[in-house]
Structure 1
Amino acid sequence: MPDLTSTEIAGRIEDLYGAPLTDLEAHARDQPPGMLAALLGMHHELALAERSISFHRDRLTRLVHPERPIGGHEMSHVLDCARRLAEAVAVRDTHSKATADVLQSLHRMPAPQDQDPAQTPVVPAVPAPATPSAPSR
């Protein structure tokens, strides 16, 4: 599965729970920790990593501008910025894959037949049925 952006992850969470992310965040604050809180936390960390990537990429671009001289002092800043950029990319990739894998394992519960869909409360996602695997040795 390809790495997903925080926007794509947010859309999948909204689809899974049938409500906008802001409503889900408000709902999660009033509930004990669970799958929704975990997904929202993973989304938050992914979005933070994406902002860090943008910041360090822009800073690195400014540091290595063709008209800017690069001496020993500036080189240490370039190397530090490149290291931080690489770390942010690794964090983003890890959170993206883990969150996408968790979302793929969940499915939305159908709304009860006797309720109006507009009045349906946020339903927690449940794990998809497990598929039997070969016994481990």
Structure 2
Amino acid sequence: MEVHTSELQKRIEAAHGHTLAELKQQAEAAPQDAGMLGALLTVHDDLRFAEYTVGFQLQRLRQLVDPERQGGDFDVSHMADCIQRLAQAHSARKAHTAALTALLDATRPTSATTPAAAGPTSPAAESGRSR
């Protein structure tokens, strides 16, 4: 399943309780305190740019392969360049999606219902035999 920018934006907004625009204002007002929020916003912007680039390169490729278009000898190199840029943008989108998802998962608040780790047991409780 592919995750889209809008879904990740909703997760960021839900986790921080503000719209993305408000969060950007907060981060810009105090960049030294932005921390993980700054990282989330930066990766989100990079993801949006990668998605834009994928769309742009797909549109350009469709123009280049349009059967009604008159083509020249140079079109093959333009198509190859477009395909390469499309592949790079797709790879960037996948990487940014994975990074943003990992950041969101890492910053998720722990719930109160999560059981605490078992503490150390006493030596008497560990020993199953008696003397």
Q: CA deviation at 1:72?
A: 2.5
> Deviations 1:8-39 (Å, cap 9, x if unpaired)?
11111101101100000000011214100000
Counterpart of 1:4?
3
Aligned length: 110
**CA RMSD of the aligned region, Å?**
1.9
Aligned match of 1:16? 15
Taking structure 1 as reference, are residues 20 and 108 closer, same or farther at Cα in structure 2, changes over 3 Å only? farther
Larger Rg: 2
Verify the 8 A CA contact 1:3 1:97 in the aligned structure 2. Answer: no
Equivalent in the alignment of 1:50: 51
Q: Does 1:85 align with 2:90?
A: no
Letter in 2 for 1:51: Y
Can you give the 5+ residue segments of structure 1 that lack an aligned partner in the other structure?
111-130, 132-137
8 A Cα contact 1:4 1:97, kept in partner:
no
CA distance in 1, matches of 2:47, 2:16: 19
Write the letter of the residue equivalent to 2:83: A
Of the two structures, which has the highest relative contact order with CA contacts closer than 8 Å and spacing of 6 or more?
1
Query: 1:64 is matched with which residue?
Result: 65
Q: Go from structure 1 to structure 2 and tell me whether the alpha carbon gap of 1:8 and 1:106 turns closer, same or farther (over 3 Å shift).
A: same
- More helix per residue: 1 or 2? 2
How far apart in 2 are the matches of 1:57 and 1:28?
Answer: 33
Describe the SS at the equivalent of 1:66.
coil
Deviation of residue 3 (structure 1)?
4.0
- Percent identical: 35
List gaps (5 residues or longer) in structure 2: 112-116, 118-131
| Native 8 Å contact 1:6 1:43 kept in 2 | yes
**Cα separation, 1, equivalents of 2:27 and 2:103:** 18
In structure 2, C-alpha distance between the alignment counterparts of 1:3 and 1:104, rounded to whole Å: 16
What is the identity, as a one-letter code, of the residue corresponding to 1:58? Q
Compute the displacement of 1:6 (Å).
Answer: 1.3
TM-score (normalizing by structure 2): 0.77
